[in-house]
Amino acid sequence: MLVFIISLLNVLPLSIAILICQFITVTYLALKPNYRIEISNNYQKIFNQLNKSFWIKNSLAIGKNLALMIKYTNKDLDRVEIKGENIMKDIMKKNSCIAVSFHFGHWELLPKVFARKGYNIFLNVQEQRNSRLNRYLENWCSRNGVKLINNLKILRDAIILKLHTSSLIGFVLDNTHYAEFNKNSDFPFPLLTAPFIIAKRYSLPIVPIFNFTHENKVKALVGSVCYPASNDNLEQNIIEQFLSILKKYPEQWVF
């Protein structure tokens, strides 16, 4: 059913696709009171205030972003403005780099945006239980030359081989099966630990990248680079950068 909906959205005008996605997200949460409570509780954990109606704004923003992720063409990807791309270029001249992000804004577009710029992209992904949906998503995510890896051992071996070939290795930190609470941080949500372990083990720089809507335009932002040798708590540094952008656009995070 989900594959059919995505295929249908692909042939519809963007404005209609956005309306359909927003209708789906709002209706879904309207019928799921437990999820609405969870969103409200998570919002309170971050902002220390209760906002019971935030789920409406959140679901509308997520619906719009989902439509954009589904509908964006190569021409659209090429028009995405990347703030701080010079930071990424400087890193990639010397070594491979680990890029991390969150289920925030248009997270699925990030690998494609950078692949279109000529970066060698490896993306850590999780297999879906629905085999048909899994095949569809893998085909969709691997467009533009993005290389998908769903096994951390294979990813580790790939990193060893690509350490000196300027590869960008991407992870999404939140809402994953292997996420854990960070003992060195007060961030109230579990995060994937693998990218931080790999960064420290192979002395790779790690940088957060975000893709979001700002003034009705899709933007990408490259954050500050963290180096394992000079930073004892990579996780906290990345979290602080995420919270900085989250507080500006809270509705764009999948709470």
pLDDT digit string, tens, across residues 33-77? 999 999 999 999 999 999 999 999 999 999 999 999 999 999 999
The confidence score (pLDDT) of residue 183 equals 72
The confidence score (pLDDT) of residue 155 equals 62
What mean pLDDT is predicted for residues 126-151? 73
Give the CA distances from residue 161 to residues 129, 166, 199, 227, in Å, rounded to whole numbers and listed in that order: 30, 11, 15, 20
Q: Which residue has the higher pLDDT, 125 or 51?
A: 51
191-192 and 179-180 beta bridge pairing: antiparallel
97-101 and 167-172 beta bridge pairing: parallel
d(CA 132, CA 91): 38
Checking if the pLDDT of 178 tops 80, the result is no
- Tell me which residue of 167, 210, 171 sits closest to 193, measured CA to CA: 171
What mean pLDDT is predicted for residues 25-35? 97
Cα angle 154, 6, 16; round to 5: 140
Checking if the pLDDT of 161 tops 60, the result is no
Q: Which residue has the higher pLDDT, 145 or 221?
A: 221
Checking if the pLDDT of 224 tops 90, the result is yes
Which residue has 């690509």 as its token pair?
Answer: 162
Contacts of 94 (CB under 8 A, 6+ apart): none
Q: Is the dihedral of CA 147, 149, 152, 153 positive or negative?
A: negative
pLDDT band at residue 145 using 50, 70 and 90 as cut-offs:
confident
Q: Where are the domains of the chain?
A: 2-71, 79-250
Check residue 145 and report its DSSP letter. G
Percent of the chain with pLDDT over 70: 89
The confidence score (pLDDT) of residue 176 equals 77
φ/ψ (deg, to 5) at 224: -75, 140
Instruction: Fill in the amino acid letter for 111.
Output: P
Q: Which residue has the higher pLDDT, 192 or 159?
A: 192
What mean pLDDT is predicted for residues 11-26? 96
Checking if the pLDDT of 189 tops 70, the result is yes
d(CA 198, CA 168): 13
Q: Are 122 and 204 in contact (CB under 8 A)?
A: no
Average pLDDT, the chain: 87
Q: For residues 198, 96, 72 and 106, what is the CA-based torsion angle, rounded to 10 degrees? A: 40
Check residue 127 and report its DSSP letter. -
Query: The pTM is what?
Result: 0.90
Check residue 104 and report its DSSP letter. B
d(CA 133, CA 120): 26
d(CA 193, CA 43): 23
Q: Which residue has the higher pLDDT, 215 or 150?
A: 215
The confidence score (pLDDT) of residue 148 equals 82
pLDDT band at residue 109 using 50, 70 and 90 as cut-offs:
very high
By CB atoms closer than 10 A (0-12, 13-18, 19+), residue 163 is middle
The strand ranges marked E within the chain are 81-83, 97-101, 120-124, 147-149, 167-172, 179-180, 191-192, 206-214, 217-222
Checking if the pLDDT of 231 tops 70, the result is no
